[in-house]
Amino acid sequence: MLNRRTLFEIASALTTGLAALGITKKAVAKSVAPAFDVQPRGAVGRLERLQQLDLESKHDFMTGVMKFTNTSLGQASRARAVAIVKAAGLDPNQDLPLDKAMELFSSDPLIRTRDRVWHSAHNYEHALLDEAYHAEADKYLSELEAYDKSGPGKLELDPGLNIPEYTKHEIHQQPGGYVGNPFAGHIYHYATTQFYRGENDQDERHFRYAASCPLPSDGKVKRILDLGTGIGQLALAMKERFPTADVHGIDVAAPMLRYAHMRAVDLNADVTFSQRLAEDTKYPDNHFDVVISYIMFHEVTAEATKKIIAEMHRVLRPGGVFFPIDFNHKAQASAQRSYSQWIDHRWNNERWRLEYAGVDFAGEMTKVGFATQDKSEPRGTFGNIIGVKSA
């Protein structure tokens, strides 16, 4: 992924940007591309470039479309929704029952255009990437195989793992989902750079969350778990923050973990990626000092969520910290809220989004014995509830 030629070409442009992001020179300078690394057009920092200029241009265009739907078009759509609610004599700062919201919003052309453009842009991006990697499947599968056996760090796959049904669908329109497409990691990486509108190309968001992770009161952090690690961005950011800690990233999906490990090798990060279930991790009791997780919970069932919270209490040591980050349960109420959750569920194929909204997350954490502190801000899209296991 990263090689010296690429780094020389982009070094001057990157120096300022990476320093501003807090990404150490060490992470870039140490990287030496192995001979089996496939990166026909080099990389920009932590992001490998797409195979062809044509593909990259389409990706850039679709990222721009996504940005437009979240800014100008999104603002216009929200303003329209507020006007509609007021015209109906209702309060835009209160939740509306879904059937009422559907009645008010679902035939408005501006609101529907915004939703349709967002979903089509994401869908098109996924299709582009899926086609591009499958067109050169042999090359990219051989690359994964070579990386599987390389270090630093380790990849532990479990071909006998009983994959739960609820993880098998095409979540957020991703072709094959996480477990059913050998290029799930490749597709997820680029499709999320589109989702983040180009603002997470260097894992900026993951570095921010790693930096904000609270520590156990005794300050000891020897073992860290990143739950539902996906392509490992948060696990790698935690490793940079805690270089001497033993960092583990687990996920149900082998394709995601293979890609995570490939990136870790390129970035010279000694992290262990294992295929395990969050609800039954098989780690010993009291094993981890910190468990962190980013946007996994809205993609699991309510039943699994409760089991996972209990499992995290088991694997954390007394005084250990659980730091899950996901959609904000405390977000300011609005008349569009139930409608937009439904749209995400129905059209972005976020199957468990509505169940997630119904879980009393802090309550479930308290039930299993965590002392909780809800740090979520009313205006934040994402929230964090910190759980500490009693010492």
Ligand X SMILES: C[S@@+](CC[C@H](N)C(=O)[O-])C[C@H]1O[C@@H](n2cnc3c(N)ncnc32)[C@H](O)[C@@H]1O
Nearer to ligand X, 110 or 368 (CB): 368
When CB distances to ligand X are compared, the closest residue is 230
Nearer to ligand X, 155 or 234 (CB): 234
CB of 72 to ligand X, least distance (A): 27
Strand 382-389 relative to strand 316-327, pairing:
antiparallel
CB of 255 to ligand X, least distance (A): 9
Nearer to ligand X, 169 or 329 (CB): 169
Angstrom distances, CA of residue 198 to CA of 15, 47, 66, 252: 18, 11, 10, 27
Helices then strands, each counted (H, E), the chain? 15, 10
Does residue 365 contact residue 382 with C-beta atoms inside 8 Å? no
Nearer to ligand X, 108 or 158 (CB): 158
Q: Is the dihedral of CA 340, 344, 345, 346 positive or negative?
A: positive
Q: What are phi and psi of 275, to 5 degrees?
A: -85, 105
Angstrom distances, CA of residue 82 to CA of 40, 198, 336: 48, 29, 8
> What is the separation of C-alpha 188 from the centre of its chain, rounded to a whole number of angstroms?
9
CB of 119 to ligand X, least distance (A): 17
Nearer to ligand X, 31 or 167 (CB): 167
Strand 370-374 relative to strand 288-294, pairing:
unpaired
User: Which pair of structure tokens corresponds to residue 64?
Assistant: 């721009």
Nearer to ligand X, 224 or 277 (CB): 277
CB of 55 to ligand X, least distance (A): 22
CB of 179 to ligand X, least distance (A): 7
CB of 303 to ligand X, least distance (A): 11
DSSP readout, 199-265?
S-TT-HHHHHHHHH----TT----EEEEET-TTSHHHHHHHHHSTTSEEEEEES-HHHHHHHHHHHH
CB of 66 to ligand X, least distance (A): 16
Q: Is the dihedral of CA 195, 201, 203, 208 positive or negative?
A: negative
Nearer to ligand X, 105 or 327 (CB): 327
Interface with ligand X (CB under 6 A): 167, 178, 228-230, 233-234, 250-253, 256, 277-279, 294-296, 299-300, 304
